[in-house]
């Protein structure tokens, strides 16, 4: 009986040598993010509605848990991630628009069967070591079990302003072709309009004949707005809402 060809091939497996990270990967990641415009944006009006409707409930929940668990505010209030299980890294994740009630927002994905079928499990909002809110299946202890802090339960005015700022910048650069010469001054004007202290605007490059339009990336952790070249998009020149 001969040896299975698949076994022979498996024994010659080159994947470990072929699969490698390179020092240039971070540059590639930055290029990708800067070169492709955001595709969907939550309107500012809609976001404000969510804040107004759900704010009080979340504040109460946050205060109730404060005395028991280590709680933190997110360094980056603009993102919510729904974990599919209580592990790091999780087996799956979903990113959402920021919502005044991250647990409810992720719960909707569970209820709709996007994450899993059946009733949503108990969910808890944590703050990861990267400063992002992660909603994780489990009780209030699950954050500490994973080395995270519990979320304080409400967004501050400053955090809300950052979210509004990100939305505005994203809408502006994502729905029209802003040329390189105008991009940085306009981004700096957004920073001034939102009265953000300590924020800087940087040119991440990648401009070219085939990348004549500005793309933006807002990083609340480093307080930086990155502006770089991207290709023209079908979404360009559509009216902002």
Partner 1 sequence: MTSVTADDRTSLFGVLFREFVPAVRGFVRTLVAESDVDSVVQATFETAWIRFDSIPLLSQRAWLFGVARNHVRNHVRSGRRRVLLVDAIGVSLSGEEASMFAGELDGVEIAPLLAALNQMTNDERELIQLLAWYEMEPSEIAVVLGISQNTARVRVHRARKKLSALMGDESLGEVAP
First to last CA, the chain: 70
Residue 11 makes contact with partner 1 by CB under 8 A: yes
Task: Please identify which residue in 10, 53, 63, 122 interacts with partner 1, judged by CB under 8 A.
Answer: 10
* Stretch of 3-11, 53-61, 117-125, 194-202 contacting partner 1, by CB under 8 A: 3-11
* Positions in 27-46 near partner 1 (CB under 8 A): 28-29, 31-33, 35-42
Taking the mean position of all CA atoms in its chain, how far away is CA 26? 17
Residue 80 makes contact with partner 1 by CB under 8 A: yes
Residue 65 vs 108, nearer CB to partner 1: 108
Burial 72-109 (b: 16+ CB within 10 A, else e): bbbbbbbbbbbbbbbeeebeeebebbbbbbbbbbbbbb
Residue 183 makes contact with partner 1 by CB under 8 A: no
Q: Please name the residue that has the structure tokens 């919502």.
A: 99
Task: Please identify which residue in 45, 67, 95, 239 interacts with partner 1, judged by CB under 8 A.
Answer: 95
User: Site map for partner 1, 206-225, x if CB under 8 A?
Assistant: ----------xxxx------
* Stretch of 6-14, 141-149, 183-191, 205-213 contacting partner 1, by CB under 8 A: 6-14
Residue 25 makes contact with partner 1 by CB under 8 A: yes
Residue 105 makes contact with partner 1 by CB under 8 A: yes
Instruction: List phi, psi (to 5°) of 227.
Output: -125, 125
How many CA atoms lie within 13 Å of 130's alpha carbon, on the beta-carbon side? 10
Task: Please identify which residue in 71, 124, 170, 175 interacts with partner 1, judged by CB under 8 A.
Answer: 170
Question: Which residues are at the interface with partner 1 (CB under 8 A)?
Answer: 1-6, 8-22, 24-25, 28-29, 31-33, 35-42, 50, 76, 78-81, 84, 89, 91-99, 105, 108, 115, 130, 132, 166, 170, 174, 216-219
């Amino acid at each position: 009986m001969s040896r299975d060809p698949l076994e022979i091939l498996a024994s010659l497996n080159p994947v470990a040598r072929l699969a490698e990270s390179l020092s240039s990967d971070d540059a590639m990641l930055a290029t990708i993010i800067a070169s492709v415009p955001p595709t969907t944006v939550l309107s500012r009006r809609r976001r404000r509605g969510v804040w107004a409707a759900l704010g009080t409930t979340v504040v109460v929940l946050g205060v109730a848990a404060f005395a028991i668990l280590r709680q933190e505010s997110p360094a980056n209030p603009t993102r919510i991630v729904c974990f599919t299980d209580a592990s790091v890294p999780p087996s799956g994740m979903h990113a959402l628009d920021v919502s005044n009630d991250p647990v409810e927002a992720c719960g909707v994905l569970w209820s709709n069967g996007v994450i899993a079928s059946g009733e949503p499990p108990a969910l808890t909002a944590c703050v990861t070591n990267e400063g992002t809110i992660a909603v994780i299946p489990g009780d209030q202890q699950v954050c500490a079990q994973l080395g995270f802090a519990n979320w304080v339960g409400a967004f501050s005015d400053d955090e809300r302003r950052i979210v509004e700022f990100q939305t505005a910048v994203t809408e502006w650069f994502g729905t029209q072709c802003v040329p390189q010469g105008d991009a940085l001054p306009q981004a700096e004007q957004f920073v001034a309009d939102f009265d953000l202290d300590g924020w800087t605007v940087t040119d991440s490059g990648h401009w070219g004949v085939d990348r004549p339009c500005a793309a933006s990336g807002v990083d609340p952790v480093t307080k930086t707005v990155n502006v770089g070249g991207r290709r023209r998009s079908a979404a360009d020149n559509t009216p902002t809402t």
